[in-house]
Amino acid sequence: MSISTVNVSLTIDAGLIAAFSQLLQNGFWLKGDVDCSVKSFLCEQFVVSPEYLEKRIQTIFLNGQPVDDTDTAIVRDGAILTLSAAMPGLAGAVMRKGGFYASMREQISYKTESTSCSAQPGRVLVKLFNLPLQELGPFFLEHGIWIDGNIFKNVITVRLDDFRTSCKEVLVNGRRLEPDQLLKMDWGNGDIFLKVKTI
């Protein structure tokens, strides 16, 4: 069975959510309005509260550049956004947004763009680490993320026995399937809109 774009909805035991950790670290796509600030993208369109962004997400990279001000850092179509809590050691202190040592990385920090922005549809590759991985990962999965078909197949293959016992419902474009049937499908490089609900 060949698929180009497909909706996959999983209902799983809470313990199986760890099977998606590597996927969340490697990156998943969120689709929404881009050409807006990091804060607008995360807080107005998705599950992140302004307070959480300010207090819990201490390290942010936009296209590999440390971000200090989420109100002025602009997310473009195809951007890579990495979210982490405070990292340990001096390196972590230097990379922390708005931290005391931020001036030490001035040459690599994100510089505010002077061009005007008008929000338009696009997608952003998001990567989660440590606390945001644990705390935001399940919420993004429940909201829905976009991933490559081969990546999804690999997640199922590696943890197939766990999916057999802990996956309570599998829906593919609204059709109920057994976990084993997911491996028989030719996912190719098509996009999958994946939603994962825990019980």
Report the half-sphere exposure of 23 (CA within 13 A, side-chain side). Answer: 26
Q: Which of 172, 165, 174, 171 is nearest to 187 (CA)?
A: 172
Q: Which of 171, 182, 162 is nearest to 16 (CA)?
A: 162
Q: What is the mean pLDDT of each run of 10 residues along the chain (199 residues)?
A: 76 96 97 95 94 93 92 95 75 48 50 66 97 96 95 93 95 95 85 95
Length of the chain: 199
pLDDT at residue 155 in the model: 93
The residues, ordered by sequence, that sit 6+ positions from 168 with a Cβ below 8 Å of its Cβ are: 11, 12, 13, 199
Q: Classify residue 2 by its DSSP letter.
A: B
Element housing 118 (H / E): none
pLDDT at residue 52 in the model: 96
